[in-house]
Amino acid sequence: MSDVVENAPAAATGSVRRSRDVPMLVERARAGDPRAVARLITLVESGDEVLPQVAAALAPYAGQAQVVGLTGSPGVGKSTTTNELVRALRARGHRVGVLAIDPSSPFTGGAILGDRVRMQDHATDPGVYIRSMSSRGHLGGLSAATPQAVRVLEGAGCDVVLVETVGVGQAEVEVASLADTTLVLLAPGMGDAIQAVKAGILEIADVFVVNKADRDGADATVRDIQGMIALGERGPGEWRPQVVRSIAARGEGIDDIAAAIDKHRGWLEQHDELRRRREARAAAEVEAIALGALRARIGSLRDGTELATLAAKVAEGALDPYAAADELLAQLGG
Ligand SMILES: Nc1nc2c(ncn2[C@@H]2O[C@H](COP(=O)(O)OP(=O)(O)OP(=O)(O)O)[C@@H](O)[C@H]2O)c(=O)[nH]1
Ligand SMILES: [Mg+2]
C-alpha cells in the first residue's frame, strides 16, 4: 500500500507532502514515487487551486489504464475481493491502482479503516497504489474528483485501476459512468437481487459477483439474477451481464471474476464501446467542471447587485423567474 502520506517519516517526505509544485510532483509520480502520487491525489481530492494545472499535466496519460469499478452494499465483500483481484493482477505483472471511495461521509470513517486492513496484503508492494477518498472539500463532489484521481494513477503507470464504492444509490451509477467495466457484488440472503432492480443496478452491471457463496442461498441469488438478466431486452451483439460466484475471503472464484472482466474488455474493444464509454465519461467530467465554474460565478454575482436587482423585480411581479434566470445567464456569458 503506497498511501505513504501516513506511513513515511515526515522529515524525509516533508517537501513532497506539502508541495504545490505540479511539474515536480508529476515528474516524480511518473517515476513511481508513491509520495508524489499521494500528494497529487490529495490536491485533486481537496479541489486545490492548482487542480487545473494537475489536470493539464496529466492529460497526455488519459486512457492508459483499464478502469474497473466494484460496487455493492456495505459489507458485501468489495474490499476483500479487491484485495484478491490485486493479487491476481500482480501475478500477471500489472501495476495496479486502487481507489476506495466513501461517498456517504465527508470525513474518513471506519469503513475506510476496514478497507486498509483488508488490503494490507499489498502494503509493501511498490507496484500497488491504494488510496481512500472522501468527498470532503471538493466542489464537484466525488464524481468530479474521481476521474482526476484515476488520471494520477494512470500517470503513475498503473495498467489497471480498481475503484471501490459503497453502493448507496446514485454513487453506484456515478462509479459506473467512470469505469470501463462495472462489477456489482451481491451476497446471499441480503435481498440484494430485489434491491438491485430497484436501484437501477441491473443497467450498470457488466458482471454480477455473488460473493459469500459459502453461505446458504447462493444458488437462489444466482438464479434470481440470471432470471432478471433473461428478462432484459438485448439487441444482437449487445453485452449480456455475466454472473460469477466467489468466496473472496478464501480467494475462491477470483480467476472467474478476472476472466469475466477480460471477456467484457474484449467485447468493449470489439464493439468500439470502450471509446464510446470513455467519451461519455469525458463529457460528464467536462459538464461537471463547467457546472461547478458556473455555480461559482453565479455565487459571485450574488455578491454584486445583478441578482439582487433581478430578485427585486421577480418579487414584485415585474419579471418572471425564468426570464430573470435568462438575464442572469446572459450576464454570465458577457
Ligand atoms: N463468509 C464470507 N465472508 C466474507 C467473504 N468475503 C468477505 N467476507 C467478510 O465480510 C466482511 C466484509 O468484507 P469487506 O471486504 O470489508 O466488505 P466491503 O464490501 O468492502 O465493506 P464496506 O467497504 O464496509 O462496504 C469481512 O468480515 C470479510 O472477511 C466471503 O466470501 N464469505
Ligand atoms: Mg470496503
Averaged pLDDT, 287-308? 80
| pLDDT confidence of residue 140 | 52
| Ligand 1 pocket residues where CB is under 6 Å | 74-80, 111, 114-115, 118, 166, 211-212, 214-215, 247-249
**More confident: 139 or 79:** 79
Residue pair 118/266 in contact by the 8 Å Cβ criterion: no
Banded pLDDT at 101 (limits 50, 70, 90): confident
Of the ranges 30-44, 85-99, 145-159, 301-315, which one carries the lowest mean pLDDT score? 301-315
Check residue 300 and give its pLDDT.
Answer: 76
**Most confident listed range (73-77, 153-157, 227-231):** 153-157
- Higher-pLDDT residue of 197 and 236 is 236
**pLDDT on residue 116:** 53
- Atom 7 of ligand 1, residue of closest alpha carbon: 77
Q: Is the confidence at residue 11, as pLDDT, over 60? A: no
Ligand 1 atom nearest to 73, measured from its CA: 25
> What angle, 0 to 180 degrees and rounded to 10, lies between the N-to-C axes of helices 306-315 and 273-303?
80
Report the 10 Å Cβ neighbour count for 185: 27
Q: Any idea what DSSP says for residue 64?
A: -
Q: What is the pTM of this model?
A: 0.86
When comparing pLDDT for 31 and 203, which is higher? 31
Q: Is pLDDT of 195 > 80?
A: no
Q: What pLDDT shows up at residue 170?
A: 60
| 72/270 Cα distance (integer angstroms) | 28
Which residue, judged by its Cα, is nearest atom 14 of ligand 1?
77
Give the atom of ligand 1 at the shortest distance from the alpha carbon of 166: 25
Average pLDDT, the chain: 83
Q: How far is the CA of 71 from the centre of ligand 1 (A)?
A: 12
Per-residue exposure over 290-326, b if at least 16 CB sit within 10 Å of its own CB, e if not: eebeeeeebeebeeeebbeebeeebeeeebeeeebee
- Which stretch of 33-37, 139-143, 208-212, 244-248 has the lowest confidence by average pLDDT? 139-143
From the CA of 99, the nearest ligand is 2
* Lowest-pLDDT choice from 18-27, 31-40, 60-69, 192-201: 192-201
Rounded distance from Cα 187 to ligand 1 centre (Å)? 10
CA of 85 to the centre of ligand 2 (A): 14
What confidence score (pLDDT) does residue 109 get? 39
Kind of pairing between the strands at 242-245 and 207-210: parallel
Average pLDDT score over residue span 171-195:
77
Predicted confidence at residue 43, as pLDDT, reads: 92
| Residue 9, pLDDT score | 41
Among 98-102, 211-215, 322-326, whose mean pLDDT is lowest?
Answer: 98-102
d(CA 146, CA 132): 11
- The SS3 assignment for 179 reads coil
Q: Which ligand is nearest to the CA of 216?
A: 1
Cα distance between residue 303 and residue 317, in whole Å: 23
The CA 30 to ligand 1 mean position distance, Å, reads 33
Average pLDDT over residues 65-77: 91
Task: Kindly state the average pLDDT of the residues 78-83.
Answer: 94
The predicted model gives 173-189 an average pLDDT of 83
Output the CA 261–ligand 1 centroid distance in Å. 20
26: its cell numbers: 508529476
**Which pLDDT value is given to residue 267?**
97
| Residues 183-197, mean pLDDT to the nearest whole number | 77
pLDDT at 334 over 80: no
Whether the pLDDT of residue 171 is over 90: the answer is: no
pLDDT band at 313; cut points 50, 70, 90 = very high
At 1, the pLDDT band (50, 70, 90 cuts) reads: very low
Which ligand 1 atom sits nearest the alpha carbon of residue 250?
Answer: 31
192 falls in which pLDDT band (50, 70, 90)? low
pLDDT band at 165 (very low <50, low <70, confident <90, very high): confident
Kindly report which listed range (47-56, 128-137, 215-224) carries the lowest average pLDDT score.
128-137
